[in-house]
Structure 1
Amino acid sequence: MTRPAGTLGYGEAADELAVQYESVSFDEVHGELLAHYPPAPAAVLDLGAGTGRDAAALAALGHRVLAVEPTPELRAHGERLHAGSGVRWMSDALPDLPQVRASGERYDLVLVTAVWMHLAPGERRTALRTVSGLLAPGGRLSLTVRHGPVPAGRRMYDVPDEETLALAAEHGLRPVHQASRQDLHGRGGVRWTLLVLERPAARQHPA
């Protein structure tokens, strides 16, 4: 698979990034969002899973987790660090996710953690359509989006919350949680948007 432009710089820095990613816990990253995640066992898709920190934690909670990571160096770290976790790994990438879509599976929870800002505007529109199509009725999409200075050698965009919410609405997704927080690594000028979006369950027709 050709490396997506949004992954620029991640392969070369994979060893350093693996340490960084694993230095914060799943609960630190997702703690305030957990109340909005479905109970186990649920089908979970972790897009841009990195080293699999979140995927492994969700698997430990009893979920069935597919971790998708397009950067082979990061995926190798994840398969090593979280061997035996029960997480399935796949090489695929937003915005189209052809391998994931080919399976025909639908998910109760899709995580897109620290990924969305790597997608160009046109890619974000396609990605939202792709992800919304992978959600089961009642399924939820968790997005954490970075704002602030762009590290050297990376491709990032500033993504207004209003844009994401408008794209979500176009595909029938409604917000159930929206918040902002400072960077967990203490990087100056960096803050994060936290969004949980839901695909409403299909209405029951009267008999």
Structure 2
Amino acid sequence: MSIDVPGTEGYAEYAAALANDWHKISFRDHHQPVLHLIPTAPSRILDVGAGMGRDAAALASMGHAVVAVEPVDELRAAAIDFYPDSSVVWLDDSLPELRLVRERANTFNVVMVTAVWMHLDEAQRRRGMGTLSELLDDGGLLIMSLRHGPVPARRRMFDVSAADTIRLAEAHRLQLVLNVCSDSAQQANRNRGVIWTRLAFRK
């Protein structure tokens, strides 16, 4: 489905190389700033833009019921190859609507949106935040990462600030609980000056 999804440009043709690069970084190393927010009790977790499945598989291995959304066919295929025995439910879906997720009529204790938000334009972000809020249980957590730095060739990315994202989330009944900056986990990105903002909100 990725050919019809703005923001997925440049991922399908490099899926194998990207998947291998991402696979080299552990879930714990990548998400160190937010690990303390991940529930210890079994929970319902939605991973939006799940890529090659590292995070979804790690969360499932902790006992969580995980639904993973990824619109790039090649990345979903890589995820199934990497984690053939995982209990993760994979959906070919995307923000801002997450139509297939909403059709399942599930809500979630945690929604993770990792390295996705900067691919959406302003109108899509407005619609998408409403969708994410609707999918969260009361008391649930939305955990996001925002990329800042040079845009790779052939990618569609926007400069999205933490302040704008916080204002948008608060307009949808989401209260900020974490706002930290961190270096990129990938050395190549660090060399290019890429940094990340980690945000978490509670509904």
2:35 equivalent in structure 1: 34
Counterpart residue type for residue 118 of structure 1: H
1:191 equivalent in structure 2: 195
1:128 equivalent in structure 2: 129
The 8 Å contact of residues 3 and 71 in structure 1, kept in 2 or not, is answered as no
Q: How far apart are residue 123 of structure 1 and its match?
A: 0.5
Between the aligned partners of 1:75 and 1:195, the Cα distance in structure 2 is: 26
Aligned length: 199
Partner deviation per Cα, 1:83-114 (whole Å, 9 max, x = no partner): 11111111000011111011110000001000
The 8 Å contact of residues 68 and 89 in structure 1, kept in 2 or not, is answered as yes
Return 5+ residue gaps in structure 2 as ranges.
none
Partner deviation per Cα, 1:10-41 (whole Å, 9 max, x = no partner): 00110111111111110011122121122221
Return 5+ residue gaps in structure 1 as ranges.
200-207
2:159 equivalent in structure 1: 158
1:45 equivalent in structure 2: 46
Between the aligned partners of 2:135 and 2:55, the Cα distance in structure 1 is: 19
The 8 Å contact of residues 116 and 145 in structure 1, kept in 2 or not, is answered as yes
Q: How far apart are residue 3 of structure 1 and its match?
A: 2.5
1:141 and 2:142 equivalent? yes
The 8 Å contact of residues 96 and 126 in structure 1, kept in 2 or not, is answered as yes
Counterpart residue type for residue 161 of structure 1: A
State the secondary structure of the residue aligned to 1:7: coil
Instruction: Give me the identity figure in percent.
Output: 45
Between the aligned partners of 2:179 and 2:140, the Cα distance in structure 1 is: 17
Between the aligned partners of 2:197 and 2:153, the Cα distance in structure 1 is: 22
Matches within 5 A, 1:1-40: 1=1, 3-40=4-41
- TM-score w.r.t. the length of structure 1 is 0.94
Between the aligned partners of 2:162 and 2:117, the Cα distance in structure 1 is: 11
The 8 Å contact of residues 3 and 70 in structure 1, kept in 2 or not, is answered as no
Q: How far apart are residue 184 of structure 1 and its match?
A: 1.2
